[in-house]
Structure 1
Amino acid sequence: MIGLAKPVMAMLLVLGAGGAALAQERPSFDCAKADNTIDHAICKNGGLAKADREMVAAYTALLNKLNGAAKDDLVKDQVRWVANRNRACRSDSDSIEDCLKNRYTSRIKNLRAYVQGTYPAISERSLAKQGKLGKITWSYDLTYPRFEGANVDFSAVNARFADAANKIADESTPKAADGSEREQQWYYEQGFTVERPPGGQAATISLSFDSYRGGAHGYGATRCTLVDLRSGKVIGPDGVFTAGEQWLRLMTQLVGADLKKQFVDNPGFEDALQPASLAKLLSEANRYCWTDKHLEVIFNAYDVGPYAAGPYQVDIPYDRLKPILRPDGPIAR
């Protein structure tokens, strides 16, 4: 720890950097000094204690790789993450352990993604509120990313995520016309993880949400956004694949064949497999989740099957995509 800036040292102490010396069943901090609901919940749960140690290890690995402004950005983001975790999970007293598990899972994944290649300063922003209007009990808790860069203008992509989050927050807050005389419970929960596809030139934001506003059941989905770190712009499949219709034809063939096999055990809508119908779905950018290992093509509930069938996912190795990847695109061939 010698030589680290004072704010960094203070942050590591807060997170419990001495966790490596503790017993494996303990978190990164001393449970004997736990003095709040969050710390007590972590200390009582072996899985959460392990997640806390893994998160601190991932944070420390990334911190040791950075210097200057990038290191300062990470420290500030971690302080913000801890504050958001405490606020959100403390208010969710009925399922505090599930709340913590979800927060830790996303944070660990993101920190490990950041350490791959050039560090993109992607911080977490949060909107959360709860209340009651008449007989409607409501809450929303959503996180979304913010890109930082001295040499790249990310203002458009940041506005895109922030505007979407604020719109959801407004829609998740009941109004007088929403039937407040009926007993209802509304909720909206949203989180994100970061993927680093091959080449280090892009980052995928995988945003997942779960919501309920009355009715027979709630609804959840995953939507992905690919951001070119060289330009700060959102890139769709037409910016990753070579020009022309070849990429859409090949994707329709690959995805259609995979879905047809999945329908044997998990029946879906047969008409969704028609080339024209599938090509239309595959033209939608938010289905493409570019990971470090392969491309995941996401079909949420109702897209190609009934609600009871749930989501479908098609994984395609990058080797299969080489012929249609742009040589100068954000995904390495």
Structure 2
Amino acid sequence: MVEEYWVEFLKVDDTSGLGLFTELKNMLTNLELDIDDIRGQGYDNGSNMKGKHKGVQTRLLEINPRAFYTPCDTSEDPKTKSEAESLATHELQNFEFLLGMVIWYKLLHAINTVSKFLQAENMDIDVVISLLEGLLLFLDDYRESGFDKAMVEAKQIANEIGVEANLEKSLTHNGHSDIDGDDLFLELTILKYSLPKETKKAIDVVNYLKRMDGCFPNACVAYRILLTIPVTVASAERSFSKLKLIKTYLRSTMSQDRLNGLAMLSIEKKMLDQLDYGPQISGTALVATTASRLPWPCLRPLRSITAVAGPASPLSRLFHLHRGCHSV
């Protein structure tokens, strides 16, 4: 199963491409993650992030060319025409660029169709709701199965203009490749006949490959990378929406640790719902029982400390007493 988790908010003083990339490397080091294991990266449209000379994505690609970059190009840029001409001149020989164009054309065409109707003077609310629901269904379906269709169409275009689609080359760095191209072709040839009929999504294929226990190693790696590459950065943007709800004007002096803790509880709420609080409650009851049996001289200095610290709940007072008595 491929999962996405929020980690934490970072306080950054240097917002240049180099400064942000340094923070990224330090973060990966603290988490004991290897930068060479990254297979996808996605950022907003800031020049310090997407810049092709000194941006974060370029600096990361210099170290790890297999970290495929997914842009979030949702804002208007006065240099769009110039960049489009440059891409048409220099990037059309790149298969990944062709594939990206096919995907974005399908998505933006569907969105543009609905957007034009929403701007009409005689639009009706019931028709608008129906169109929006249809658009959401299209996006959900495209997210699950549209990539395969886009890949076929991109290959047809590549064959017509003479562009080579070499996945093995794209996944090779320092003489090591994640897959073997010839073996992958043979595995996919067999796999398409052995997949269950109900398998329609990429994640279903990965789950099936796991059950096969290593029979299709190259296909398993390729599909895992496919599901790892970020399609959008919407989930990361939603975390900033949570940040605005947590760190308000009245909470402007909140510490970084507390902010990350509250954000984790809010963003990863599904994970929180699965936690078992039984051991914590039992431990708290044990602390309360132990504290009630302690002699008065041990509790006396600690009561004064708690009083100086300000009002506290009975639970927090017992916790302070418990910790303090161990330090006596």
TM-score normalised to the size of structure 2?
0.26
The structure where strand makes up a greater share of residues is 1
Larger Rg: 2
